[in-house]
Amino acid sequence: MNEIPCASMLRLCHYFVSICSVHFVSMIAAESSFVFRNMAEASSDVMDWPKKDNRRFLHVVYRVGDLDRTIQFYTDCFGMKLLRKRDIPDEKYSNAFMGFGPETSSFVVELTYNYGVSSYDIGTGFGHFAISTQDVSKIVESVRAKGGNVTREPGPVKGGNSIIAFVKDPDGYTFELIQRGPTPEPLCQVMLRVGDLDRAIKFYEKALGMRLLRKIERPEYKYTIGMMGYAEEYESIVLELTYNYDVTEYTKGNAYAQIAIGTDDVYKSGEVVKIVNQELGGKITREPGPVPGIGTKIVSFLDPDGWKTVLVDNKDFLKELE
């Protein structure tokens, strides 16, 4: 039997090792490609969720110093209806829900009164709410008659023909009154100021599935507005994001609280928000899950400018209204 020289044996071993190594690396590369492709597809599915979800503006939450006074003012001056009221003595606060239609289909205000607190700081970031009406002057006269503050008399908007006015409620919240024809959603806007409009638009598109309905440039007045929502501006509530040139930060105060939006799955929605928070800023303030004592599933978070949104499970929300 002939013996293989050591040098030849060594070369043969190197040959087999190299073949095995190439095969092994190829297997690892293929496996990695498969894993990364699946991860990318999974990430894409997650980010597509807001567009597939059943989203709807539910209510806007803010604090008032005298609940009964505010209820009376909104009823007499704006024509809102008291939809429900609840008192939580253990937590030392009361809520009143008011609007122009039922909570099952309309956007409403949730007024919060904390025991013993009669005033709040609205800050510089909150702008106004808006009400669509067929007669701006009539509401202005009602506000004036009830001792309210009219900050802009009815008249055409600068550079346009729309008739508007501005008034303040007893707590100092500003309401814009817009003269329009009949609409299914009279409570039609919430305006918030942001420090970077493009960033804010991307956040609400990606994290909440909203659409940019309209962008208004007003260089002569040094501001730009982005109207965000889920339906056309004259059919539904919109979020009006306002950027004032060269102003990047605002004070939030402690009066305005948050907007609530319905979702079919708070857990999927929370995953999306976390990804967008990492990209654009903001943070989760309450992980997805049921609220103790109520059972309604929610997830809450801040946008890059610090404005809070709460996503509420649609089915759980309807159970609350039963």
The residue among 71 and 5 whose pLDDT is bigger is 71
Q: Which of 257, 253, 250, 231 is nearest to 309 (CA)?
A: 257
Q: Active-site residue 176, yes or no?
A: yes
Q: Are 267 and 250 in contact (CB under 8 A)?
A: no
Q: Are 174 and 129 in contact (CB under 8 A)?
A: yes
Residue 156 backbone class (left: φ over 0; alpha: ψ -120 to 50; beta: rest)? beta
Rounded (5°) CA angle 256-260-266: 135
What pLDDT band is residue 294 in, cutting at 50, 70 and 90?
confident
Residue type at 144 in one-letter notation: R
pLDDT at residue 34 greater than cutoff 50: no
Q: Taking residues 18-24, report their average pLDDT.
A: 51
pLDDT at residue 232 greater than cutoff 50: yes
| CA–CA separation, 264 and 110 (whole Å) | 21
Q: Taking residues 141-155, report their average pLDDT.
A: 94
Q: Taking residues 61-71, report their average pLDDT.
A: 98
Q: Which residues, in sequence order, are bridge partners of residue 309? A: 259, 301
Instruction: Report the pLDDT value the prediction gives residue 18, as an integer from 0 to 100.
Output: 55
Instruction: Report the pLDDT value the prediction gives residue 43, as an integer from 0 to 100.
Output: 64
pLDDT at residue 271 greater than cutoff 90: yes
Instruction: Report the pLDDT value the prediction gives residue 25, as an integer from 0 to 100.
Output: 43
What pLDDT band is residue 17 in, cutting at 50, 70 and 90?
very low
Is pTM beyond 0.75? Reply is yes
Q: Are 262 and 56 in contact (CB under 8 A)?
A: yes
| Chain segment 178-205, per-residue pLDDT in tens | 999 999 999 999 999 999 999 999 999 9
| CA–CA separation, 314 and 55 (whole Å) | 9
pLDDT at residue 39 greater than cutoff 50: no
The residue among 293 and 184 whose pLDDT is bigger is 184
319's tokens: 């159970």
Instruction: Report the pLDDT value the prediction gives residue 161, as an integer from 0 to 100.
Output: 86
Given the residues 103, 176, 185, 240, select the one marked as catalytic.
176
| Chain segment 1-13, per-residue pLDDT in tens | 455 555 554 454 4
Instruction: Report the pLDDT value the prediction gives residue 27, as an integer from 0 to 100.
Output: 54
23's tokens: 């095969």
Instruction: Report the pLDDT value the prediction gives residue 200, as an integer from 0 to 100.
Output: 98
Instruction: Report the pLDDT value the prediction gives residue 292, as an integer from 0 to 100.
Output: 86
CB 230: neighbour CB atoms within 10 A?
19
| CA–CA separation, 210 and 203 (whole Å) | 9
- List the beta strands (DSSP E) in 138-282: 149-156, 163-168, 174-179, 187-193, 211-218, 223-229, 238-244, 256-263
Q: Give Cβ neighbours of residue 70 (< 8 Å, ≥ 6 apart).
A: 64, 96, 111, 169, 170, 171
Instruction: Report the pLDDT value the prediction gives residue 64, as an integer from 0 to 100.
Output: 98
Instruction: Report the pLDDT value the prediction gives residue 37, as an integer from 0 to 100.
Output: 47
